[in-house]
């Protein structure tokens, strides 16, 4: 078996989320070092506050301040902090029921070791220095042996309340393309386009994905196709993609390589964008060291007859 191809793949995205009135008040409160809960009709105080009663689904808006001190209801010792977690040295995950609240808040506790943590221990909020209106405005909790702090009875009304959060997310993967695409990519490195034929319907797929989507069976017979092909359809791109060093407008096309039963896509160059047409005959253009064609350019042959490629649109 050939060596498995691998490449790092990073999926990174900032989620911009708007806040409802209760979430806005809670997160703005954290910015101002005030912890707010929300009262349900039956008199329970939920911290962190939600906008709908988890039992009755009733809309709830009655904000009430609770103390920044509280009691650990359960904990778990994390000796190996992971990326993104609030503390970089070992810490305890904790659920904390703040004084005045009936439910518990998930956060972390800065403690010297697991022997210093127990359910029922008293803790207080350690505020972050820079606070923006986010759950991370609580830097962490810390052990506390004083009396419950007294809330000031804050109304939940603030100047310049936060109305949204931006939650960055990043996940790291090691991408492997699988058997069929590995063979395709390896052949491309030798400047050859190699598809796979379905044993049932005999269609040749380029690039191959390992299965015939019509028949639901594995493809395996390798078939070299191209290098030239026919533009079956195309579009003109007028918006410059981020990090893409190509002048707009340019043409992106479906190209049926000779011998293939499925069109692949690629950029068309070497011809003004407004002269590209269906049936145009093209060939790949390779750059030095490139593992795939940089683009396709006209071969100069007469255009292909529509009848030849009409099934490949």
Between the CA of residue 115 and those of 130, 144, 214, what are the distances in Å? 31, 16, 61
- Pick the binder of another protein from 128, 185, 187, 211 (CB under 8 A): 211
Stretch that binds another protein, among 44-52, 151-159, 227-235, 300-308 (CB under 8 A): 44-52
Do residues 221 and 237 touch, judged by C-beta distance below 8 A? no
Q: What is the DSSP letter of 214?
A: T
Give the separation between CA 272 and CA 18, rounded to whole angstroms.
45
- Pick the binder of Zn ion from 128, 215, 228, 236 (CB under 5 A): 215
Q: Does 46 bind another protein (CB under 8 A)?
A: yes
Give the separation between CA 51 and CA 187, rounded to whole angstroms.
56
Q: Does 31 bind another protein (CB under 8 A)?
A: no
Pairing of strands 105-109, 91-98: antiparallel
72: number of CA atoms within 13 Å, CB side?
27
Nearer to another protein, 17 or 33 (CB): 17
**Long-range contacts of the stretch 77-81 (C-beta < 8 A, 24+):** 77/113, 77/114, 77/117, 78/108
Give the separation between CA 178 and CA 199, rounded to whole angstroms.
19
Do residues 8 and 175 touch, judged by C-beta distance below 8 A? yes
Stretch that binds another protein, among 93-101, 121-129, 224-232, 269-277 (CB under 8 A): 93-101
Provide the mask over 166-205, with x wherever binding to another protein is found by CB under 8 A and - wherever it is not. Answer: -x-x-xxxxxxxxxxxx-----------------------
- CA geometry: angle at 26 spanning 29 and 12, to 5°? 105
Residues 6+ away with beta carbon under 8 Å from 257? 193, 195, 206, 225, 226, 227, 228, 229, 264
198 binds, among another protein, Zn ion, none (CB under 5 to 8 A by kind): Zn ion
86 binds, among Zn ion, another protein, none (CB under 5 to 8 A by kind): another protein
Q: Does 84 bind another protein (CB under 8 A)?
A: yes
Total number of residues that touch another protein (CB under 8 A) = 68
In Å, the largest CA–CA distance within the chain is: 89
- Pick the binder of another protein from 41, 76, 235, 310 (CB under 8 A): 76
Which 147-206 positions form the footprint of Zn ion (CB under 5 A)? 198, 200-201
- Pick the binder of another protein from 21, 32, 39, 95 (CB under 8 A): 95
Label residues 208-223 b or e (16+ Cβ within 10 Å = b). bebebeeeeeebeeeb
Q: Does 242 bind another protein (CB under 8 A)?
A: no
* Min dist. Cβ of residue 287 to another protein (A): 27
Stretch that binds another protein, among 78-86, 186-194, 244-252, 277-285 (CB under 8 A): 78-86
Q: Does 56 bind another protein (CB under 8 A)?
A: no
222 binds, among Zn ion, another protein, none (CB under 5 to 8 A by kind): none
- The residue with tokens 């395996």 is 220
Q: Does 213 bind another protein (CB under 8 A)?
A: yes
Contact residues: another protein, CB under 8 A: 1, 4, 6, 9, 11, 15, 17, 19, 23, 27, 46-48, 50, 54-55, 73-79, 82-86, 93-95, 97, 103-108, 114, 119, 134-136, 165, 167, 169, 171-182, 209-218
């Amino acid at each position: 078996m050939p060596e498995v191809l691998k490449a790092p793949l990073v999926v990174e995205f900032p989620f911009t989320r708007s806040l409802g009135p209760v979430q806005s008040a809670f997160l703005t409160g954290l910015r101002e070092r005030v912890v707010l809960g929300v009262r349900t009709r039956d008199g329970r105080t939920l911290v962190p506050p939600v906008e709908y009663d988890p039992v009755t689904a009733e809309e709830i808006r009655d904000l009430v301040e609770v103390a920044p001190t509280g009691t650990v209801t359960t904990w778990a010792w994390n000796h190996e902090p992971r990326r993104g977690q609030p503390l970089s040295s070992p810490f305890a995950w904790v659920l904390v029921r703040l004084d005045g609240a009936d439910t518990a808040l998930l956060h972390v506790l800065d403690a010297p070791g697991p022997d210093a943590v127990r359910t029922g221990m008293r803790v207080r909020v350690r505020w972050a220095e820079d606070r923006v209106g986010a759950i991370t405005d609580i830097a962490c909790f810390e052990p506390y042996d004083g009396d419950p702090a007294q809330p000031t009875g804050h109304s939940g009304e603030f100047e310049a309340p936060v109305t949204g959060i931006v939650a960055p997310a990043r996940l790291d993967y090691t991408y492997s393309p699988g058997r069929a695409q590995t063979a395709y990519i390896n052949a491309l490195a030798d400047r050859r386009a190699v598809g796979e034929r379905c044993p049932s319907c005999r269609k040749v797929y380029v690039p191959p994905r390992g299965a015939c989507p019509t028949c639901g069976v594995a493809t395996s017979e390798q078939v070299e196709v191209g290098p030239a092909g026919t533009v079956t359809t195309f579009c003109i791109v007028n918006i410059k993609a981020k990090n893409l060093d190509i002048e707009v407008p340019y043409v992106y096309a479906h190209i049926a390589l000779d011998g293939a039963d499925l069109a692949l896509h690629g950029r068309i160059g070497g011809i003004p964008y407004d002269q590209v047409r269906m049936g145009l005959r093209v060939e790949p253009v390779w750059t030095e060291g490139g593992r795939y064609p940089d683009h396709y350019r006209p071969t100069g042959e007469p255009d292909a007859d529509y009848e030849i490629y009409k099934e490949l649109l």
